[in-house]
Structure formats: structure tokens, C-alpha cells
């Protein structure tokens, strides 16, 4: 069931206040520094807090939270981290003394306020972020008795899990993501399902489906390293012929049900480069491309990545 946990406006204010006060504090410190610079006496200035910014400002379930961390202590060699719930996410350097961690949100989570705990330079900062609710479409599937479909092989599950767990420090993507196929989108991200009247609480559509014709081109939406190539003949019964691109810094793309594969593991591909063609291999009822975008192992909505640059 989708839990209707409407966002309270007070939570939003809390976040705004936090971000604004941070900027104000920063300005005040800079003004103080200016004053102290002209004074003959040295004062012990308070240690600068970690400067943290979270975007987007009004995230909703399925969005990727980008947590930017600026620090003033260039001597420290350990990267900051961001903890949310039971997970800790690495922050990678994106500019000198500037770090960024990407936090996935999914339809399986509750909307509402969550706390991000930012650790770095021996300091800890807690930020309240309000994630808004979102209604995801619901499908009702009727399966004849004893027809549960094919299961994935152990090899397939192991390879795909290892691929989605990648957290490569390098960043390979640049700018907005391209659409990987020219077909229309036939199934959006986050669709929930009932099977024979029972709500599948762990299921959501983990990506976008493109209704491209059989044999039509599948291109890399962004640059990266080919970190997964799997074939039906190797036991990829559910994914079918599959390609996985590691875009770096915990961001990965998977392309399923391909008819042909044009790349091999270890290849570097550029945005727009042909990686394969649309097919109906694996657990698929007709030709289409399934594109899944994963951030630190969780499937996020690729749509915001198509329109807004995550630096
Ligand atoms: Zn799909």
C-alpha cells in the first residue's frame, strides 16, 4: 500500500531554515575574519562547521539526494561520509575541498523527514531533509495457478548484485543523461503491483521501459565503463542479454532484454555510443528496453537525471 504521509510544511521550513542559517553563519564568519584581519590582536576563531547543501530542495520519493560538502581543512585526507538510516554513503571529491554523496530514495520508503548525518574533519552535522510523497501507478496482474514465471539463476543474481554494488571513486558521467532508445516510454518508474489481488510490497518497477522496435539502437545515456555483460546462454534467464555501465561514484545503469550486444566488459563508452539493440530476451513478453538507474545499489527514478545535471 502506498502510505499517505503528506509532507508537513513545518518540516520544509526546518530544512530551509537550516540551509539559510548555514549560509548566514558562513557569511558572518567571513565578515568576522575580515574584521580580525585588520586588528593587531589575534583571537581564537571558532572552528568552521562543515558546509553542507542538499539538492533538490523539494525532493520526492524516487529522487536522488545530492549532498555537497565543503570543508576548510585541506590537510585532512579522509573523505567525508553521509549516513541515512542504517546506511553510510561515501562522499567523493568533485572539486578541491568539495565533496558530494548521492543518497537514493525509493517507493519502498516512507515520505517525511529523514536525518542525514554528515561526518568529516572530526565534526558531525545532522540535517533534516523532508522527502515528499508521490503516487505511483498500480498494476493488477493475474497469473494462472502454477505460473509464477522463470526464476533467476544464482550466477545471474550474483553478477548483477556485484555490479549494482560498485562505488568507483572516479566520475565518468558529464551533464544530463540521454535517452537510451528512441521509442516512447511504455512503463514509468516506480509502478507498484498486485498479483492475484495480493499487494507485492517489495516490488516496484525499477527503471523505465522504452517501447523501441526489435533491433532498434540502445545507446549509453552517459559515459562509463562496461562492468557487466551477461547472456541468456550464461544463465541470465530473467535479465536476458544484459549490459551494465558503471558511471562512477556509485551510479550504475543496467539495460535488459537486448537482442544484440555491441560492447565487452572493460570497454569505456561515451554518451551516445551504441551498446546493443532492443530485444525480448529473458523474462519479457515483447520487444522493449528496460533501463534501470542505480545509486549506491538502489533503483532511483532516471527521469530527473534526464533533465537536470548532477555534477
Ligand atoms: Zn521494465
210 CA distance to ligand 1 centroid (A)?
A: 8
Tell whether 232 is covered by a domain.
yes
Least confident of 50-54, 131-135, 158-162, 266-270: 50-54
Q: Where does a domain end: 86, 114, 131? A: 131
Cβ neighbour number for residue 291 with a 10 Å cutoff: 22
Residue 149 and residue 14 share a domain: no
Residue 76 and residue 33 share a domain: yes
Tell whether 215 is covered by a domain.
yes
305 CA distance to ligand 1 centroid (A)?
A: 17
pLDDT for the residue 23: 45
Instruction: State the pairing for strand pair 241-248/224-230.
Output: antiparallel
Residue 145 and residue 39 share a domain: no
Between CA 284 and CA 259 the distance in angstroms is 12
**Collapsed DSSP state (helix, strand, coil) of residue 251:** strand
- What is the rounded average pLDDT for all residues in the chain? 86
Q: Where does a domain end: 97, 115, 131? A: 131
Residues of the chain above pLDDT 70, percent? 81
96 CA distance to ligand 1 centroid (A)?
A: 39
Domain of residue 13: give its range. 9-131
Q: Does residue 293 contact residue 207 with C-beta atoms inside 8 Å?
A: yes
Strand partners, 125: 118
187 CA distance to ligand 1 centroid (A)?
A: 7
**What is each CA distance from 184 to 9, 44, 217, 290, in whole angstroms?**
36, 61, 13, 12
205 CA distance to ligand 1 centroid (A)?
A: 6
Least confident of 46-60, 131-145, 160-174, 215-229: 46-60
Spell out which residues have Cβ within 5 A of ligand 1, the ion: 209, 290
255 CA distance to ligand 1 centroid (A)?
A: 9
Tell whether 1 is covered by a domain.
no
Q: Where does a domain end: 113, 131, 149? A: 131
Tell whether 40 is covered by a domain.
yes
Query: What number is the average pLDDT over the span 162-176?
Result: 96
Q: Is the dihedral of CA 179, 251, 257, 265 positive or negative?
A: positive
Residue 122 and residue 167 share a domain: no
Residue 158 and residue 123 share a domain: no
Residue 188 and residue 119 share a domain: no
Query: What number is the average pLDDT over the span 30-40?
Result: 47
240 CA distance to ligand 1 centroid (A)?
A: 12
Task: Find the CATH number of the domain harbouring 273.
Answer: 2.70.70.10
189 CA distance to ligand 1 centroid (A)?
A: 8
Residue 93 and residue 149 share a domain: no
- H helix runs in the chain, sequence order: 9-38, 154-164, 303-307
311 CA distance to ligand 1 centroid (A)?
A: 27
Residue 302 and residue 266 share a domain: yes
Tell whether 2 is covered by a domain.
no
Examine the pLDDT at 32 and tell me if it is beyond 60: no
132 CA distance to ligand 1 centroid (A)?
A: 24
Residue 216 and residue 301 share a domain: yes
Which grid cell sits at 72? 576548510
Residue 154 and residue 103 share a domain: no
Residue 291 and residue 143 share a domain: yes
How does pLDDT run across 218-235, given as a tens digit for each residue?
999 999 999 999 999 999
Residue 281 and residue 161 share a domain: yes
Tell whether 29 is covered by a domain.
yes
pLDDT for the residue 76: 63
Between CA 49 and CA 41 the distance in angstroms is 23
Task: Find the CATH number of the domain harbouring 65.
Answer: 2.60.40.1930
* Higher pLDDT among residues 151 and 46, named by residue: 151
Tell whether 32 is covered by a domain.
yes
How does pLDDT run across 78-131, given as a tens digit for each residue?
889 999 999 999 999 999 889 999 999 999 999 999 999 999 888 899 999 999
pLDDT for the residue 150: 76
291 CA distance to ligand 1 centroid (A)?
A: 7
Tell whether 3 is covered by a domain.
no
CA angle centred on 87, ends 85 and 89, rounded to 5°: 125
Strand partners, 298: 295
Q: How many domains does the chain have?
A: 2
Amino acid at each position: 500500500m502506498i502510505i499517505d504521509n503528506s509532507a508537513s510544511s513545518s518540516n520544509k521550513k526546518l530544512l530551509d531554515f537550516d540551509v539559510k542559517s548555514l549560509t548566514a553563519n558562513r557569511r558572518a564568519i567571513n565578515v568576522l575574519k575580515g574584521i580580525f584581519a585588520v586588528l593587531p590582536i589575534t583571537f581564537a576563531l571558532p572552528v568552521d562547521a562543515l558546509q553542507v547543501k542538499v539538492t533538490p530542495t523539494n525532493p520526492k520519493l524516487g529522487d536522488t539526494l545530492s549532498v555537497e560538502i565543503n570543508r576548510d581543512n585541506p590537510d585532512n585526507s579522509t573523505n567525508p561520509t553521509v549516513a541515512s538510516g542504517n546506511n553510510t554513503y561515501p562522499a567523493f571529491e568533485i572539486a578541491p575541498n568539495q565533496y558530494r554523496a548521492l543518497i537514493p530514495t525509493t517507493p519502498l520508503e516512507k515520505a517525511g523527514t529523514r536525518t542525514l548525518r554528515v561526518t568529516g574533519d572530526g565534526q558531525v552535522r545532522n540535517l533534516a531533509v523532508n522527502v515528499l510523497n508521490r503516487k505511483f501507478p498500480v498494476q493488477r496482474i493475474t497469473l494462472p495457478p502454477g505460473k509464477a514465471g522463470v526464476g533467476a539463476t544464482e550466477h545471474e543474481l550474483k553478477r548483477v548484485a556485484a555490479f549494482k554494488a560498485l562505488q568507483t571513486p572516479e566520475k565518468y558521467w558529464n551533464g544530463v543523461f540521454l535517452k537510451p532508445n528512441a521509442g516512447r516510454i511504455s512503463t514509468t518508474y516506480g509502478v507498484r503491483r498486485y498479483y492475484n489481488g495480493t499487494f507485492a510490497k517489495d516490488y516496484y518497477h525499477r527503471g523505465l521501459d522504452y517501447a523501441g522496435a526489435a533491433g532498434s539502437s540502445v545507446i549509453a545515456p552517459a559515459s562509463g565503463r562496461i562492468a557487466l555483460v551477461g547472456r541468456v546462454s550464461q544463465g541470465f534467464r530473467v535479465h536476458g542479454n544484459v549490459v551494465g555501465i558503471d558511471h562512477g561514484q556509485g551510479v550504475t545503469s543496467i539495460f535488459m532484454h537486448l537482442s544484440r550486444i555491441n560492447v565487452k566488459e572493460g570497454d569505456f563508452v561515451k554518451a551516445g555510443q551504441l551498446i546493443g539493440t532492443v530485444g525480448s530476451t529473458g523474462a519479457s513478453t515483447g520487444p522493449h528496453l528496460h533501463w534501470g538507474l542505480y545509486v549506491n545499489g538502489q533503483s532511483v527514478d532516471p527521469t530527473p537525471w534526464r533533465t537536470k545535471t548532477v555534477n
